[in-house]
Amino acid sequence: MTTTEIKFGGLGGQGVILAGIITGKAAALFDNKEATLTQAFGPEARGSACSAQVVVSDTPILYPYVTRPRVLVSMSQDAYTKFSPQIAQGGMLLIEQDMVKPDPIPNEAKVFGVPATRIAEELGRRMILNIVMVGFFTSITKLVSVDAMRKAVEDSVPRGTTDLNLKAFDRGFQWGEKLIH
Amino acid sequence: MAADPRGVLTGQHYLDGNHAACEGALAAGCRFAAGYPITPSTEVVERIAQRFPTMGGVFIQMEDEIAASITLQGGVWAGKKALTVTSGPGFSLMMEHVGLAAITECPCVFVNVQRGGPSTGLPTLPGQADMMQARWGSHGDYEIIALCPQSPQECFDFAIKAFNLAETWRVPVMLMMDECVGHMTERVVIPNAEDIEVVERNFTKKKPGEYKPFDAGDGWVPEMAKAGDGYNLFVTGLTHDERGYPVMNHHAQEKLVHRLVDKIRKNADKICEWEEDGIEGAEVVVMSYGITSRVAQRGVEIAREQGIKVGTMRLIVAWPFPEKRVKQIAPTIKSFVMPELNYGQMVFELERCVAGMTRTVLVPHGGGEVHDPQVIANAIIEAARGKN
Amino acid sequence: MTEVAINPVNPYLRMDRMPSIWCPGCGIGTSVNCFARALTQSKIDLKKTAVVSGIGCTGRVSGYMSVDSFHTTHGRALAFATGLKLGNPELNVVVYSGEGDLIAIGGNHFIHAARRNLDVLCVCVNNFTYGMTGGQVSPTSPATAKFTTAPLGQFEEPFNLPYLADSCGAVYVARWTTFHVRELTKAMRDALKKRGFRFIEVISPCPTLYQRRNRLGDGLDAMKYYQEKSVKKNGANTSELRIDFQSEITVGTFVDRERPTFADAMNARYKEVLGPRYVPCPDNYVPPQAKGEGT
């Protein structure tokens, strides 16, 4: 791997930015890689399709923005509609399968779905769907190690919610493992 | 001297440039801040407001940037290291007090997280179009120092550097960030407090009566005193003598302004800082600063892949400008290429120093995003072939 | 040998800067005289006292006082004083400036310093005009009076300064004229001993510009006017203190109350939330090296 562009998209309140921070932090602090996170600010960041952009690389990152994401994680239909045309040829589309209907599928992307919201609700907290997505992302993409991602989750979620969040991460991860094996 | 450990968040962090700049200021010993909210800089003072109360620092959100830019100087004369933080429109409002800091030799730090302008412009998107304002924005003759970080790590490192330079030279120092660097999140490594070199204020040990607050002696920079120490300080924005007393004539003006300007100009060799690579044998040298220097590096790599000999010069200190080095390089190359997120600012200084010895090519960009590295690469290639 | 009587206020002044720039008959020097006496009587530590001014005739006061003197930019004395006081809470900070400086260009800082109850004494010499620049209309200029920038007579509504200070939250508000030297001295002395935003308006003659342009005679004529038309009314409702052209001038102490200062409120809040983790300013932390523990 040299440089990979990743985009997390979803609704405000779904924890899209946190998903990006966890991924970037895992790569930069716990996996010894370079990782740059950028996000949209201002009124445009508060709309129905907000996003976090992460570039992960083995070498210093010179261009910090994501232009053609190799991986697009989409947690809402609006985000899918807005961001999916940007996906790189043959890239990966990771979707919240109950929220996103992946039609059309641009640029011959491969689609992987997880019922993240349902899993989060089963665990008792709808809010942690982003962590389920992060676990799913870890399994499908293998861009960042599981250990690093779990450490980043612990390091980023509110105190007292660590166990629940790690459970959410593991459930998302297992869903992905089943899907690809 | 080592840093006060209470201000140092030792360890590895995943921080954006704004938060990193705050941590750098705290590590440098900044314990006074006055600010006014403005996008995209506000996170710096938000973090300061959160962090100061446990380390003896005082933060106040003032009624406007005009106030903030002089309130911090009150803090300095009370004995604190102080900063203010702003962006475009706020920076414009602060200009009169940059001049006050220059003439009263008040060591302080102005952080400008640059956005697209003019006027309200692009509050949430990057620009580098305040570079000339940083240097020339206040009326009259004076000098300042300006630093340009290209990453959150450098926002931390250069914030410390900014305070150290301010104390060393008794000048206002501008930390010229931009929205991209301010809002991008990366790994930031904060060393142990004892490994951070901090320049403390050079308070005079002379007795009241012997001490003249604006007498630099044989050197360039006067020793300082603070209010409340019994020196009966007289600090004025009027032209003044060594005692600080106003003197309204050209002799006093010549003596004071000459020193204010020359303490930086004559010491540029000690202050200027840049990184260079591949200058020897280069056809083209790309000069850049801040976020643009990262993007430019990508452009340089593309051009090098095409066999072009490209050198780079990355400004860490933009003001004072590395005139001497530019004059050495200029006759040896076909062209300088300078990408900036503006329609030509630092390139004019480059052109002045090049003085016709070679060509200078501006790669302009109005801001709102960073350059496409390919555009920079194309400019390099064309410059090497002598086409632009 | 001839004995030269030394003016008792001399030790408070930078005598090496005399004579001052003020015109004959100007009231600023009279107010400074009162201030110097108030400093003696209040017995505050002059080493811990700083005077901050903006720009203008009154803006020169800081530079004649033999204490820490800060002559700042136009209108921003209170903003500078905010930093000075919060940066070193042990200082007695006095802001001394004119009405054009404090209330026109510096009006925003004035209302916010009063709102915050910044712990400074603010002395405003009100001579109804911009003297340094040659007699322009100011925010207190009375209607019908003439100025270089209102040659046909002023027609704007003037500010009533005690009302403004009171409304914004000042804890002490008084007005005297330069005729009332005893009362003014006492007001300054009382105010120096008090904490919070203290405001004293000093009505003062400008014979060179305001009076000459409006055919009001010299400094002595101003004293006669102040003597004849001043009405002492301590505790008066500040909304009724408007001054019109050569009208009655209500003088006295109008407000004297207590309210937590900015620093009091900040310290209380942070102590409440942070408990022992709160490190207030001044921070007496000594780095390990200075104690000889380091290498």
Cβ contact, residue pair B67, C79, below 8 Å: yes
Asked if B186's CB is within 8 angstroms of A28's CB, the reply is yes
- Structure token digits, residue A22: 């966890």
Chains A and B touch (3+ CB pairs under 8 A): yes
C134: containing domain: 10-259
Query: Interhelix angle for B250-265 vs B88-103, to 10°?
Result: 120
The answer to whether B237 contacts chain C (CB < 8 Å) is yes
Average pLDDT over residues B265-280: 98
- The predicted-structure confidence for A59-72, as pLDDT tens digits, reads as follows 999 999 999 999 99
Q: Which tokens in the block code for residue A116? A: 């993240």
Q: What are the backbone angles phi and psi of residue B336, rounded to the nearest 5°? A: -90, 145
Inform me whether the pLDDT recorded for A40 exceeds 90: no
Q: What pLDDT is stored for residue C291 in this prediction?
A: 45
Regions of chain C where pLDDT drops below 70:
1-2, 283-295
More confident residue, C252 or B388: C252
pLDDT exceeds 90 at position B158 = yes
Domain B5-195: which topology? Rossmann fold (3.40.50)
Q: Name the nearest CA neighbour of B314 among B336, B335, B332.
A: B336
C151 and C290 part of one domain: no
Give the model's pLDDT for residue C286: 60
String of DSSP letters for B223-267: -B--TTSSS--EEESS-B-TTS-B--SHHHHHHHHHHHHHHHHTT
Round to whole Å and give the CA distance between C255 and C234. Answer: 9
Residue matched to tokens 């303490």: B263
Average pLDDT value for chain B: 97
- Tell whether the model's pLDDT for residue A46 goes beyond 80: no
Mean pLDDT score, B200-219: 96
Q: How far is B19 from chain C (nearest CA, A)?
A: 21
User: A39 with B183: CB under 8 angstroms?
Assistant: yes
What is the per-residue pLDDT for C6?
Answer: 82
pLDDT tens, residue by residue, C50-80 = 999 999 999 999 999 999 999 999 999 999 9
Q: How many domains does chain C have?
A: 2
CA–CA separation, B33 vs A153, rounded Å?
33
Q: Does one domain contain both C270 and C249?
A: no
Q: Do B186 and A29 touch (CB under 8 A)?
A: no
* Per-residue model confidence (pLDDT) at position C7: 86
What residues of chain A have any CB closer than 8 angstroms to a CB in chain B?
21, 24-25, 28-29, 34-42, 44-45, 61-65
**Residue type at B217?**
G
C209 and C287 in a common domain: no
pLDDT at residue B159 above 60?
yes
For residue B167, give both structure tokens: 């104390």
Taking the CA of residue B234 and the nearest CA in chain A, the distance in Å comes to 45
Q: Which residue of chain A has the CA closest to B187? A: A28
What integer pLDDT is reported at residue B386 of this predicted model?
82
Q: What is the pLDDT of residues B39-58, one digit of tens each?
A: 999 999 999 999 999 999 99
Q: Do B and C make contact, counting contact as 3+ CB pairs within 8 angstroms?
A: yes
Q: What is the mean pLDDT of chain A?
A: 94
Return the CATH number of the domain spanning residue range A3-180: 3.40.920.10
Domain boundaries in chain B? 5-195, 274-384
pLDDT of residue C283: 67
Task: Decide if B226 touches C, using CB distance below 8 A.
Answer: yes
CA distance B130 to B137: 9
Same domain, C272 and C225: no
Pair (C218, C274) in one structural domain: no
Instruction: List chain A domain ranges.
Output: 3-180
pLDDT tier, B322 (very low <50, low <70, confident <90, very high otherwise): very high
What CATH number is associated with residue C85? 3.40.50.970
Give the rounded percent of residues in chain B with a pLDDT score beyond 90: 99
The top-level CATH class assigned to B274-384 is: alpha beta
What proportion of chain A, given as a percentage, has pLDDT over 90?
A: 90
pTM: 0.96
Give me the residue from A28, A41, A62 closest to B183, CB to CB.
A41
Q: Strand B58-61 and strand B11-16: pairing?
A: unpaired
pLDDT tens-digit series, residues B97-115: 999 999 999 999 999 999 9
In a domain, C174, yes or no: yes
